[in-house]
């Protein structure tokens, strides 16, 4: 097996595989997925789609992803035909000002010593999703912080994609910068020698069709962590304040080395 496959890639490809089976004009409104085994980023993946139910308004499909004989991923996605209904939404707790976020990131990179020491900053500049955090220190820094933050996201190269692909793009982005929320209060980040971190399961509810050629604010928080796991939740907002999707994920955050010793000593004190 080569380098580990990114979870968002499995989410996006599985959702597209399920969407390809849809012929009734329905679009995905929710998905629930489990990351079963670490996949390889360099080996081919086979996506198998089976229909669980189909009616006039809703259809449900299961997608299983395998590499060779190994099942690495399982997802159930539900599709819904457009309907008119009651509407309300919770507003973003952060300002919807991408220009201010860009200026803040530029200033942080210029004046903060952590910027030159953060390998993730350089990696993000080459990813297909452009990311601008509202609080760069929460993304790139190492000190403990409250487990709530937000990042602007959009496709680096506009795709003018159809609604099914737009949902897949959001699904891909929804696994980025997410599991770190549950680690923020503990002063640890993914990739640290003090933690083994991985996505365990992932759920998305699509409220509107996103346009990922445009900026979306991904507001994320973690209400709980324990037992070497952490719960993360988030919402995607358009610049006009419309909530387009909600996301939840449980992650593995198993302490190692000095971190494990600190936790054990605190419990034994």
For 248, other C-beta atoms within 10 Å of its C-beta total: 16
Q: What sign has the CA pseudo-torsion 244, 225, 123, 105?
A: positive
Q: Which two tokens stand for residue 214?
A: 């445009």
For 144, other C-beta atoms within 10 Å of its C-beta total: 12
In the set 19, 199, 221, 222, the catalytic residue is 199
Is the CB of residue 108 less than 8 Å from the CB of residue 115?
yes
CA distance 232 to 246: 11
Q: What sign has the CA pseudo-torsion 92, 95, 96, 98?
A: negative
Q: Which two tokens stand for residue 184?
A: 């923020």
In the set 66, 78, 246, 249, the catalytic residue is 249
In the set 66, 175, 211, 221, the catalytic residue is 175
For 62, other C-beta atoms within 10 Å of its C-beta total: 15
Note if 99 is an active site residue: no
For 14, other C-beta atoms within 10 Å of its C-beta total: 28
Note if 21 is an active site residue: no
β pairing state of 216-226 and 195-206 = unpaired
Closest CA to 129 of 257, 6, 239, 246: 6
**Given strand 58-67, what is the order of strands in its sheet?**
46-54, 58-67, 70-80, 27-35, 195-206, 243-255, 229-238, 216-226, 148-155, 129-133
Note if 151 is an active site residue: no
Residues annotated as catalytic are: 175, 199, 249
């Amino acid at each position: 097996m080569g380098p580990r496959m990114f979870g968002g890639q499995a989410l996006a490809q599985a959702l597209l595989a399920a969407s390809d089976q849809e012929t009734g004009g329905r679009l995905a409104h929710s998905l629930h997925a489990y990351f079963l085994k670490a996949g390889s980023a360099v080996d081919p993946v086979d996506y198998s789609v089976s229909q669980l139910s189909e009616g006039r308004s809703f259809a449900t499909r299961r997608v299983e992803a395998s590499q060779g004989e190994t099942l690495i991923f399982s997802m159930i996605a539900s599709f819904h035909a457009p309907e008119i209904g009651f509407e309300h939404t919770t507003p973003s707790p952060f300002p919807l000002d991408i220009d201010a976020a860009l200026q803040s990131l530029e200033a942080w990179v210029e004046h903060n010593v952590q910027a030159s020491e953060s390998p993730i900053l350089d990696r993000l500049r080459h990813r297909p999703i452009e990311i601008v955090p509202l609080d760069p220190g929460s993304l790139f820094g190492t000190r403990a912080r409250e487990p709530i933050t937000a990042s602007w996201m959009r496709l680096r190269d506009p795709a003018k994609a159809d609604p099914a692909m737009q949902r897949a793009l959001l699904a891909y982005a929804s696994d980025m910068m997410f599991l770190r929320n549950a680690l923020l209060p503990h002063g640890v980040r993914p990739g640290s020698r003090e933690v083994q971190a991985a996505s365990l399961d992932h759920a998305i509810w699509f409220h509107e069709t996103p346009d990922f050629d445009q900026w979306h604010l991904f507001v994320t928080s973690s209400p709980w962590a324990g037992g070497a796991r952490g719960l993360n939740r988030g919402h995607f907002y358009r610049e006009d304040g419309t909530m387009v999707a909600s996301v939840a994920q449980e992650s593995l955050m198993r302490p190692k080395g000095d971190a494990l010793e600190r936790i054990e000593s605190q419990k034994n004190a």
